[in-house]
Amino acid sequence: MVVAALAGVVAIGAALLPGRFGSGAPNAAFDPPRFVDEATAAGIEHSYDGEFTFFVGGGVAAFDCDDDALADLFLAGGAERAALYRNASTVGGALRFTQLPDPATDLTEVTGAYPLDVDGDRITDLVVLRVGEDVLLRGVGDCRFERANERLGFDGGDAWSAAFSATWEGNAALPTLAIGNYLVLDPDGQATFECHDNQLVRPAGDGDRYAAPTPLSPGWCSLSMLFSDWDRSGRRDLRISNDRHYYRHGEEQLWRIDAGEPPRLWTHEEGWQTLRVFGMGIASHDLTGDGYPEVFLTSQADNKLQTLTDGADQPTYRDMALEAGVTAQRPYAGDTTLPSTAWHAEFADVNADAFVDLFVAKGNVEAQADYAARDPSNLLLGQPDGTFVESAEAAGLLSFARARGAALVDLNLDGLLDLVVLNRRENVGLWRNVGSGTAAQPQPMGNWIGLRLDQAGPNHDAIGAWVEVRVGDRVQRRELTVGGGHAGGQLGWIHFGLGDSERADVSVIWPDGEVGPWLGVAANSFATIERGADAPDYFTPAGG
Ligand SMILES: [Ca+2]
Ligand SMILES: [Ca+2]
Ligand SMILES: [Ca+2]
Ligand SMILES: [Ca+2]
């Protein structure tokens, strides 16, 4: 039986294999890295709290708000105040954070937030999602923010919002924003059992203010949304994941977004197929190496991994979660006989072996007896054959706190991706990745690079670009997106693991489709790829 089962796994793995890798290409997965719990020591004391309207949400935004290259954190608080923490870690050292109290950012009723530079002034702003009015916070430097709804003509509405994505259409001065809403609230602010429409917020003409929102109707209780160039046409369509707990006739959605045209849903006649899940989070990554992103959808019980069935002519997907080993439908420890409840999901390479890994945040909604109460988050390590292996406990990440939002981000700029998790009613989980070493002596596992993109114009972070990183004849691809996950995202260094390779070749396909040259980038360095430049601009963190 064991031999037969193993043979089956090998056969499936071979079928998933993106291609034969040539000399110098990474060909072996590394062990799990070690994560050290540093939440309390780092000075963070924060949980996501509140009753029914805060059973969902709980997002983390990770981005640099004081221009020191270290990612700072904005944490949703639900019924309690949200909190902004400045990163005071030393490069390669223990994690340290300092709370920055400020009425502008310490908002209540916050479900999540996403960083992006909305007004193009090169200071990152924050779109804050709330039960009630959403707030656009304009960064003014040194981790200070000011409300900018009026200045930018942004109508934050009064709905229960928990999902967001953004894209730039054409040469617009401002990004197009999509806001995902959950249940309709009655006049007393109590939840009904009817799903609210979502909203598309586009710039008014060529101006620097927003037009009135366009409803994306019907809404089916959205908990994650993502603009992505799924067919590599240069057009970014809006995928929405919806919670079937509250709809009878709804489904997952893909809105076709053509610049200057009204949004419209892709139809079944055009190849979109009905899928009904308890949709909570979206993560996308090109796992099969064909240039098109696979889409991971979190849910209760089985999670989904969608891949295009017949290429990019139509949005027809099949589920490959089982063959890839990422259904993660039950806890690997804890209440192992009950189904899981999954929220934030994120692809990143935590052991830098050049095989991307997948983190899935899990936790009971509140006290749903049909689902696991002790439901630890997953760390699924990518393997050369395209499968994933559960490794959270070996990595030191076993926790039974009810996780919601999260971010895998290198918080101390040592090239090892650290992890922050926002929990319901319990303190934030914060883990420093020490590789194969210890807290006192971290030891890198694989080589890595951290990249930022820079182009002229309002979209200077080049959201919508694809970054290709080549080692040997194997290419990793990442689409730069704003959105997805569960109620939070990050903007900052784009991390790639390189395995044992001492360098990588990097090419950027810019948001307008222009293909940049292959540039050599030395391993274990941070570098900005500026559009038109013939070499990377290396950056050394202070004290690093
Ligand atoms: Ca910072
Ligand atoms: Ca800005
Ligand atoms: Ca990996
Ligand atoms: Ca780190």
Yes or no: say if 481 and 284 are a contact pair by the CB < 8 Å rule: yes
State in Å: Cα 425 to ligand 3 middle: 31
- Give the model's pLDDT for residue 21: 58
Mean pLDDT of 72-88: 98
Q: Look at residues 260, 262, 272, 328 and name the one whose alpha carbon lies nearest to residue 300.
A: 328
Q: Look at residues 83, 66, 195 and name the one whose alpha carbon lies nearest to residue 428.
A: 83
State in Å: Cα 348 to ligand 3 middle: 7
pLDDT at 9 over 70: no
Question: For ligand 3, a single-atom ion, which residues have Cβ within 5 Å?
Answer: 349, 351, 353, 355, 357, 382
Residue 92, amino acid: G
**What pTM was estimated for this model as a whole?**
0.95
State in Å: Cα 291 to ligand 2 middle: 31
Which ligand is closest to the CA of 431, given by its number? 4
Looking only at the bridges linking them, the beta strands covering 304-308 and 294-298 are: antiparallel
Distance CA 318, CA 323 (A): 12
State in Å: Cα 155 to ligand 1 middle: 29
Which ligand is closest to the CA of 542, given by its number? 1
Q: Look at residues 372, 292, 370 and name the one whose alpha carbon lies nearest to residue 328.
A: 372
pLDDT tens digits, 445-458: 999 999 999 999 99
- pLDDT tier at 156, thresholds 50, 70, 90: very high
- Give the model's pLDDT for residue 189: 86
State in Å: Cα 540 to ligand 1 middle: 15
- Give the model's pLDDT for residue 543: 74
Yes or no: say if 521 and 527 are a contact pair by the CB < 8 Å rule: yes
- Strands (DSSP E) contained in 196-311 are 198-201, 214-216, 222-228, 237-242, 253-256, 264-265, 281-285, 294-298, 304-308
- pLDDT tier at 97, thresholds 50, 70, 90: very high
- Sign of the four-CA dihedral 209, 212, 218, 219: positive
pLDDT at 18 over 60: no
Question: For ligand 1, a single-atom ion, which residues have Cβ within 5 Å?
Answer: 64, 66, 68, 70, 72, 87
State in Å: Cα 394 to ligand 4 middle: 18
Distance CA 265, CA 204 (A): 22
Which ligand is closest to the CA of 100, given by its number? 1
- Angle at the Cα of 15 (from 277 to 25), degrees rounded to 5? 110
pLDDT tens digits, 351-371: 999 999 999 999 999 999 999
- pLDDT tier at 17, thresholds 50, 70, 90: very low
- pLDDT tier at 22, thresholds 50, 70, 90: low
State in Å: Cα 358 to ligand 4 middle: 17
Mean pLDDT of 185-210: 93
Distance CA 544, CA 521 (A): 18
Mean pLDDT of 65-71: 97
Which ligand is closest to the CA of 84, given by its number? 1
Yes or no: say if 488 and 113 are a contact pair by the CB < 8 Å rule: yes
Which ligand is closest to the CA of 126, given by its number? 2
- Give the model's pLDDT for residue 544: 61
Mean pLDDT of 135-164: 98
- pLDDT tier at 542, thresholds 50, 70, 90: confident
pLDDT tens digits, 296-317: 999 999 999 999 999 999 999 9
pLDDT at 348 over 50: yes
pLDDT tens digits, 232-255: 999 999 999 999 999 999 999 999
Residue 157, amino acid: G
- pLDDT tier at 217, thresholds 50, 70, 90: very high
68's CB contacts (< 8 A; 6+ apart) are 87, 542
State in Å: Cα 331 to ligand 4 middle: 27
Distance CA 20, CA 117 (A): 40
State in Å: Cα 392 to ligand 3 middle: 13
State in Å: Cα 287 to ligand 3 middle: 12
Which ligand is closest to the CA of 415, given by its number? 4
Q: Percentage of the chain with pLDDT > 90? A: 93
- Strands (DSSP E) contained in 500-544 are 503-509, 519-522, 525-530, 537-539
- pLDDT tier at 205, thresholds 50, 70, 90: confident
Q: Percentage of the chain with pLDDT > 70? A: 96
- pLDDT tier at 134, thresholds 50, 70, 90: very high
pLDDT at 519 over 90: yes
